[in-house]
Amino acid sequence: MLFIADLCAFYGEFQALFGVNITVKQGEVTSIVGPNGAGKSTLLRAVSGLVRTEGRIEFEGQNLRKIPAHRIVDLGLAHVPEGRGLFPYLTVRENLELGSHVPRARPFRAKNMEWVYHLFPRLLERERQLAHTLSGGEQQMVAIGRGLMSRPKLLILDEPSIGLAPKMVSVLFNVIEEIRREGVTVLLVEQNVHRALMASESAYVIENGAMVLSGSGSELLQSPQLQEAFLGLAQDEMR
């Protein structure tokens, strides 16, 4: 569904990605892990057309690099950015409504909102509240819900579990599972390596802007290299 080859990405003169190859298969959860500053977010931004790139990015056979950022959503791809990127002084409902701004999703706004409220009943209670007044977990729900409002074929999540209490993390991964069951393909970037790999069919490890490992989630979980690279993190998780 999403095919990335020889991808390089740049911030001005600075090169952040050096020839990355990744394939996301329809109906699967694919995760990307790696240390801080490895270029994970940059990779996602490249897909959404927010950074200058070279190489190939294809979504359902279309060359995303030729399509301006604001038209990419309309192809059925939603990106929930790192740090949530909410509109802080808009209400929860307004935030969600903007998730279905694109022409493809506008007619289904009411239906999709019902779906999102079904996934996150909590948000219905907070509907009229300004986004910045919510708790961290609730804000993350709004961010994911806003992404789902376009009923995307591919949902991109950048570190959704960051800053969440352990209980909320479990809720989050349950929701990811449920979203996938409803037919949404998920591309997930996580620092919570263990959980991410458990939830994924395929996974990639990137470091310093290049891919160092790939395989199925369970393969990587067994991989000694990965154990080594993420010893600290992994042990935290194993407990």
Partner 1 sequence: MNNLSQILVNGLLIGGVYALSAIGLTLVFGVMRVINFAHGEFLMLGGYASYYLFTLWGIDPILSIPLTILLVGPIGWLVQKYLVARVMHSNHLNQILLTLGISIILQNAALLLFTGDHVSAPVSYGSSSVTLGPVTVGVARLIAFGLGIGLSALLYMILTKTEVGRVLRAVAQNDVSARLMGINVEQIYLLTYVVSASLAAVSGALTSVIMYVHPLVGFQFIVKDFAIVVLGGLGSVPGAVLGALLLGVVESFVGTVVPNGGGWAEGISFVAIIVTLLIRPKGLFGVE
Ligand X SMILES: Nc1ncnc2c1ncn2[C@@H]1O[C@H](COP(=O)(O)OP(=O)(O)O)[C@@H](O)[C@H]1O
Residues of this chain that interact with partner 1 (CB under 8 A) are 48-50, 68-74, 78-79, 81, 85-90, 94, 97-99, 101-102, 146, 150
Binding mask 23-62 for Mg ion (x = CB under 5 A): ------------------x---------------------
Q: Give the span between the Cα atoms of 53 and 71, in whole angstroms.
A: 17
Determine contact, residues 155/80, Cβ cutoff 8 Å: yes
48 binds, among ligand X, Mg ion, partner 1, none (CB under 5 to 8 A by kind): partner 1
Sequence-distant (≥ 6) Cβ neighbours of residue 79 within 8 angstroms: 44, 47, 48, 73, 147, 156, 158
| Candidate segments 39-47, 171-179, 196-204, 216-224, binder of ligand X by CB under 6 A | 39-47
- Considering only residues 1, 39, 143, 168, which one is a binding residue for ligand X as defined by CB under 6 A? 39
- Considering only residues 38, 156, 211, 220, which one is a binding residue for ligand X as defined by CB under 6 A? 38
Q: Give the span between the Cα atoms of 73 and 103, in whole angstroms.
A: 10
- If binding is defined by CB under 5 A, does position 161 make contact with Mg ion? no
Name the residue nearer to partner 1 (CB basis): 56 or 104.
104
Residue 3: CA count within 13 A, CB half-sphere: 8
Name the residue nearer to Mg ion (CB basis): 32 or 168.
32
- Considering only residues 31, 42, 112, 202, which one is a binding residue for ligand X as defined by CB under 6 A? 42
Q: How far is the CB of 100 from ligand X (least distance, A)?
A: 27
DSSP-assigned beta bridge partners for residue 57: 4
Residue 60 CB neighbour total at 10 angstroms: 14
Q: How far is the CB of 48 from partner 1 (least distance, A)?
A: 6
Residue 213: CA count within 13 A, CB half-sphere: 25
The residue assigned the tokens 């057309």 is 49
- Considering only residues 2, 24, 31, 40, which one is a binding residue for ligand X as defined by CB under 6 A? 40
Cα dihedral across residues 24, 29, 32, 36: positive or negative: positive
Q: Give the span between the Cα atoms of 116 and 126, in whole angstroms.
A: 13
Q: Site residues (CB under 5 A) for Mg ion?
A: 41, 82
**Residues in the site for ligand X, rule: CB under 6 A?**
11, 14, 16, 34, 36-42
